[in-house]
Amino acid sequence: MVFILYSYCQTLQPGPSVHWGLSLSLGPLLGSLNLNQGVLESKTSSARRRRYIEEAELFNIEVLLAVDYSVHLFHGREHIQKYLLTFMNIVNEIYQDHSLGANINIVLVKIIALSASKSLEIISLGNPQKSLENVCGWSYLLHREQNHAEQHDHTIYLSRQEFGPSGMQGYAPVTGMCQLHQSCVLVIDDGFTSAFVAAHETGHVLGMEHDGEANNCIDDVPLGSIMSPRVQATFYRYHWSRCSWMELHKYLHTYDCLRDDPFYYDWPVLPQLPGFQYTMDQQCHFDFGPGYSLCTAYTTHDPCKQLWCSDYHNPFYCKTKKGPPLDGTKCAPGKHCYKGVCTKLTPDMLRQDGHWGSWSPDSSCSRTCGGGVTFRTRRCDNPAPANGGRTCFGNSYEFQLCNREECPPLSDFRSDQCKVWNPFYEHEGKKHHWLPYQHPDPDERCRLYCQSKETSEVVFMNKMVHDGTPCSYDDPYSVCFQGESKCGRGPREERQD
200-225 pLDDT per residue, tens: 999 999 999 999 888 889 999 989 99
Structural domain tally of the chain? Answer: 3
pLDDT level of residue 147 (50, 70, 90 thresholds): low
pLDDT digits 0-9 by tens, 230-279: 777 888 889 999 999 999 999 998 999 998 877 767 778 888 899 999 99
Residue 419 inside a domain? The answer is yes
- In this prediction, residue 486 carries a pLDDT of 79
pLDDT level of residue 302 (50, 70, 90 thresholds): confident
Statement: residue 48 has pLDDT above 50: no
Say whether 336 counts as a known binding-site residue. no
Q: Is 0.75 topped by the overall pTM? A: no
Residue where one domain finishes, among candidates 300, 325, 347? 347
Statement: residue 282 has pLDDT above 60: yes
Are 147 and 65 contained in the same domain? yes
pLDDT level of residue 354 (50, 70, 90 thresholds): confident
pLDDT level of residue 435 (50, 70, 90 thresholds): very high
Residue 394 inside a domain? The answer is no
Are 254 and 280 contained in the same domain? no
Cα–Cα nearest to 136, from 176, 98, 107, 102:
176
Domain holding 438, by residue range, is 413-486
Q: Which residue has the higher pLDDT, 151 or 95?
A: 95
CATH assignment at residue 283? 3.40.1620.60
Say whether 204 counts as a known binding-site residue. yes
> How many Å apart are CA 118 and CA 71, to the nearest integer?
13
pLDDT level of residue 55 (50, 70, 90 thresholds): very low
Are 55 and 106 contained in the same domain? yes
pLDDT digits 0-9 by tens, 407-418: 887 678 999 999
Are 280 and 205 contained in the same domain? no
Are 41 and 113 contained in the same domain? yes
Statement: residue 165 has pLDDT above 70: yes
- Determine what percent of the chain is predicted with pLDDT higher than 90: 49
Residue 298 inside a domain? The answer is yes
Statement: residue 8 has pLDDT above 50: no
Helices 80-95, 194-205: crossing angle, 10 deg rounding:
50
Annotated catalytic residue 201: yes
Residue where one domain finishes, among candidates 258, 282, 300? 258
CB distance 43 to 35 below 8 Å = no
- In this prediction, residue 39 carries a pLDDT of 37
Q: Which residue has the higher pLDDT, 2 or 479?
A: 479
Of the candidate ranges 78-92, 93-107, 145-159, 327-341, the one whose mean pLDDT is the lowest? 145-159
CB distance 482 to 54 below 8 Å = no
Are 318 and 454 contained in the same domain? no
Residue 467 inside a domain? The answer is yes
Residue 143 inside a domain? The answer is yes
Are 115 and 242 contained in the same domain? yes
Residue 421 inside a domain? The answer is yes
Residue 247 inside a domain? The answer is yes
β-strands 154-159, 184-188 pairing:
parallel
Residue where one domain finishes, among candidates 314, 330, 347? 347
Q: Is 199 left (phi over 0), alpha (psi -120 to 50) or beta?
A: alpha
Backbone angles phi, psi at 215, to 5 degrees: -150, -175
CATH assignment at residue 136? 3.40.390.10
What mean pLDDT is reported for the chain? 82
Question: In whole angstroms, how large is the CA radius of gyration of the chain?
Answer: 27
Are 194 and 120 contained in the same domain? yes
Are 95 and 227 contained in the same domain? yes
> How many Å apart are CA 171 and CA 17, to the nearest integer?
6
Are 287 and 254 contained in the same domain? no
Statement: residue 406 has pLDDT above 80: yes
Statement: residue 57 has pLDDT above 80: no
Are 42 and 170 contained in the same domain? yes
Q: What angle do CA 349, 353, 357 make, to 5 degrees?
A: 130
Q: What angle do CA 21, 27, 32 make, to 5 degrees?
A: 95
Of the candidate ranges 21-25, 204-208, 290-294, the one whose mean pLDDT is the lowest? 21-25
Q: Catalytic: which of 41, 62, 201, 209?
A: 201
Residue 493 inside a domain? The answer is no
Are 290 and 224 contained in the same domain? no
- In this prediction, residue 487 carries a pLDDT of 58
